[in-house]
Amino acid sequence: MKYFSPKIRLYSLHSLIFFVLVFLHSCSQNQEDQLNIVWENEKAVGLQIPKDISIDNLEIRLVQDEERTSMLGRFEETNNGMIFKPLIPFTRGLSYELVSGDKQLGQILIPFPDMGDAYPELIAAYPSQDTVPENLLKVYLTFSQPMKEGVALNYLTLLNSNRDTVPGVFLNLQPELWNESRTQLTVWLDPGRIKRDLIPNLEMGAPLKNNQRYELLVSDGWKAQNGLELGARVSKSFIVIQRDSISPNPDQWLITTPKTNSRDQLKVDFLEALDYSLLQEVFTIKNEDGKNIPGVWELGFEEKAIAFSPDENWKTGNYTILIEIRLEDLAGNNINRLFEVDLEQPNQTKTNDGFYKLNFSIKE
Amino acid sequence: MKNTSILFGSGFLMALVMAFTFRPIDLPYGMAKGTPEIKSITSLTFGPEGVLFIGDSKSAAVYAINTKDNEFTKEFSTVEVQNIDKKLADKLGTTVDHISILDIAVNPTSKRVYLAIQSADGTPVLMTLEGEEFAPVSLENIEYAAVELNNSPAEDAKDGRGRSLRISSISDMGYADGKLLVSGLSNQEFSSTFRSIPFPFSDIQDHASLEIFHAAHGRYETTSPIKTFTTAEINGKDYLVASYTCTPLVLFPMDELKAGKHIKGRTIAEMGSGNQPLDILNVKKDGKSYLVMANSNRPVFRVNFEDIASFEGSLTEPVPDNFATEGVDFVSMPLTNVQQLDKMDDGTMILLQRKSNGSLDLWSTDKAEYLLR
């Protein structure tokens, strides 16, 4: 926690200024007579303007050393006066002024959020095992807070065993692939370098080399949506093993069937790590009548297994596990098709639609 | 009796008012009036009569909005906005590091420039450029129609499972001959989805979802995602000219783009390593047509369509040792760090460019005629 200390001070300063501002205001005026921030989902979406201020010539401006210009937004009448709603929420850490003509009527700082868990942290990186195939295709990073988009490659570095930065490893994709809550980022390793015989592959070689140790660094300073930064750099080491040119084969998976009349887990062991994100959603279990069995799926250690806990007790009978064939391994090979199909080896491509089916029975 | 007639009278009056109030007004292109729930504006392209298509990657949907900006003009004023990011940030009350310009599009009818802006917290803003000033385009209570793009096979098989981790990001959009073309990529599968969606959107989901394969030098084939594309007529035939995340530039005949077909493109060039295609368009100048392509780590390339038409080969042979861009003859234009491209008219481009002095400028090429000579 050591690395937090400068920010604690910084934060305290901000909150102190804010507190003093609010305090000064509240000494002389009541709540309705001062500027107030309107919050929505932790975003400063509006500014409550006191009743006695006239809308004529009223402007909101960002306080800065350079020329201050009137912000785009709209004024809405409320019972307590007016609310100014900017086009985008006010930025935390910046100050804004309320101006009428040349006269400043008030100024307010948009504070950083409360301490503690508001600082972003990298909570997971997938694949989670410490060996990856030479043709690893993607990495998922999970954060504790919604992050700022579009800057990922400034904060991601891959170091080789000599502690040298490996250049051009990640695909510079804009817009970046964030989930809706902006807490998970998908980063592709440059496919032009992975795909054999393309110029990038011939010129620079594959991004990762067999038998080498690497370290993925996520640097500090990466800002979360709330304006706070990643406190410390985080790294993940891994060793590269030979390329994976074999599709996942569900027929070889090990299935541990539960007992009847129990809520024991159904366990499926893949014997290799598969894609973290796809694993979350490609499985369905149906009974003999074709009805879905409701329950909860739980990923196993290092994404090598998955377990299913039914909401109700298992009944004796035959069941089918449906697996969407788009399920991929770490190298982008899915159940029906390899990441790159060698056209000189016929019959490798199958359809890309539908499900693979695995059957199991629960006996008396 | 009097009460009854008052009751009847007022009932009749109400019915009359209702009949007039709720009489459906036929809006163009099957649109309805309302406020679409647009979560992000990641790409923009214009359709017919001032219809703007907004690609929303976060909701995996495309919204067609009626901008009512439909007055034809042939003339346009030169665009030259220096430090556009700073000016936008000032108007939005924040600093440059808190905004990004995700796309620009010019309304081919009115020649007005539209900008898709995203703030650091994800709030999308649509703006137009009026001279040197910016004006927000309201997305509230507008005429719009929407089409959803996510049709992964799991959608209907799911029950009681959390929100999907799948993202269907829209990498580019275009409109041609009554069809909205959308290229997309997903965070989960490494594959290309290319949709050709008839517009006006219909309830029938007859839009084609194509799997486009790309063969590297005839040997290794992947369903690589398309980053950017345009359509062009070459030797009297319509083609899709697509550039991939792994750099090759590939031609597909439009009439072969049919759902469920294994479609293989013809690679006409490879743009070299460490580079990402950013934007691509076709321009006409002095009777000649050019394909213009902006890149992340290369200058803007220009190629004469005649060269593409006469290039019969496909890059099926292994690349020779010099690793130059292969295939058709590309000319590097004296333009670097161009992030976005569109055109004001057939022969004038508009560029969003990071100049060597660090300034992000939006400018039209009408005063730089040498570029297409």
pLDDT tens digits along B45-88: 999 999 999 999 888 899 999 999 999 999 999 999 999 999 99
Q: Which of A40-44, B182-186, B349-353 has the lowest average pLDDT?
A: B182-186
The beta-carbon neighbor of A284 closest among B42, B157, B188 is B157
Look at residue A304 in the predicted model and tell me its pLDDT. 97
List the single range of A230-239, B190-199, B307-316 with lowest mean pLDDT: B307-316
**Would the CB atoms of A282 and B248 count as touching at under 8 Å?**
no
B141 touches chain A (CB under 8 A): no
Flag whether residue A95 sits within 8 Å of chain B, measured between CB atoms. Answer: no
- In whole angstroms, what is the distance from residue A359 CA to residue A326 CA? 19
Q: Which of B154, B191, B246 sits opposite A195 (nearest CB)?
A: B246
Architecture of domain A2-109: Sandwich (2.60)
Reported as a single tens digit per residue, the pLDDT across B252-281 is 888 887 766 667 777 777 776 667 788 999
Could you tell me what percent of chain A has a pLDDT over 70? Answer: 87
pLDDT of residue B127: 97
More confident residue, A81 or A344: A81
Q: What is the pLDDT at residue A13?
A: 45
**Are A94 and B121 in contact (CB < 8 Å)?**
no
- Partners of A343 on chain B (C-beta within 8 Å) are 215, 218-221
A-proximal residues of B, 160-189, CB under 8 Å: 160-167, 169, 185, 187-189
Query: What is residue A18's predicted lDDT score, i.e. its pLDDT?
Result: 46
pLDDT, residue B313, reads 61
| Domain limits, chain A | 2-109, 119-241, 250-362
Indicate the fold that domain A250-362 takes in CATH. Answer: Immunoglobulin-like (2.60.40)
pLDDT confidence band for B324 (50 / 70 / 90): very low
Mean pLDDT score of chain B: 82
Question: A2-109 with A250-362: one CATH topology?
Answer: yes
Confidence bin at B13 (pLDDT 50/70/90): low
If pLDDT is split at 50, 70 and 90, which confidence band does B323 have? Answer: very low
Question: Is the predicted pLDDT of residue B353 greater than 80, yes or no?
Answer: yes
A246-285 residues touching B, CB cutoff 8 A: 275, 277-278, 280-282, 284
Q: What is the pLDDT of residue B141?
A: 96
C-alpha span between A324 and A275 (Å, rounded): 13
pLDDT at B327: 67
pLDDT at res. B21? 53
Least-confidence region, from A192-206, A337-351, B136-150: A337-351
Q: What is the pLDDT of residues B125-160, one digit of tens each?
A: 999 999 889 999 999 999 999 998 865 444 444 444
Is residue A27 less than 8 Å (CB to CB) from chain B? no
ipTM over 0.90: no
Domain A119-241 classification at class level:
mainly beta
Task: Tell me what the mean pLDDT of segment A219-244 comes to.
Answer: 92
For residues A226-249, give the mean pLDDT.
92
